[in-house]
Amino acid sequence: MHSMKPRIAIAAALAGLALATPSFAQQKDGTVAKLIEITGNVLVSRDSGLTTGTEAMRLLPKTRILTTANARAIIEYDDGCRVRMEANQRFEVERDRECAALVVLPQPVLVAPLAGSLATTVIPGILGAAGIAMLIDSRGGQTVSPN
């Protein structure tokens, strides 16, 4: 019984290691994923620069993917992990990372304007004065009334 314990512990450790480390099947050409479900213009980096991505295009690690406006694509890793890209995002194909970490990697390239709730509530007062001044300017600084 005592001799079984270390064996069980080693087996459990190995099993844990196998579960913790993502196992990416790497093809002979070094690619680890492919581009699928492309909508719009999706660009893929090559040594010579960006080129248009095509359906089922194989992807090497360190390849940059760029979606243009109104474009979408999915990067499907050979282990089944699917990374969804929306419009105006970039993503660099990485290996040796867990799927949960990969799917959150696509980053927006264009900064979306902030909701600016504070600005919208505070600024109108200032804006009103400035805007009105601008609008009535054509009257030589006078309002409707000459009084």
CB 64, CB 13: distance < 8 Å: no
User: Taking CB under 8 A as the criterion, which residues in 58-97 touch another protein?
Assistant: 64, 66, 68-70, 88, 90
Counting runs of H as helices and runs of E as strands, what totals does the chain give?
A: 3, 9
- Applying CB under 8 A, does 20 fall inside the site for another protein? no
Least distance (Å) between residue 7 CB and another protein: 45
DSSP letter string, 82-125: EEEE-TTEEEE--SSS-HHHHTT--EESSPPPP--HHHHHHHHH
Nearer to another protein, 65 or 81 (CB): 65
- Applying CB under 8 A, does 111 fall inside the site for another protein? yes
User: Taking CB under 8 A as the criterion, which residues in 116-145 touch another protein?
Assistant: 116, 119-120, 123-128, 130-132, 134-139, 143-145
CB 24, CB 96: distance < 8 Å: yes
Nearer to another protein, 34 or 90 (CB): 90
User: Edge-to-edge strands of the sheet including 82-85?
Assistant: 58-59, 33-39, 72-77, 82-85
- Applying CB under 8 A, does 30 fall inside the site for another protein? no
Binding footprint of another protein on the chain (CB under 8 A) = 41, 43, 45, 47-52, 64, 66, 68-70, 88, 90, 109-116, 119-120, 123-128, 130-132, 134-139, 143-147
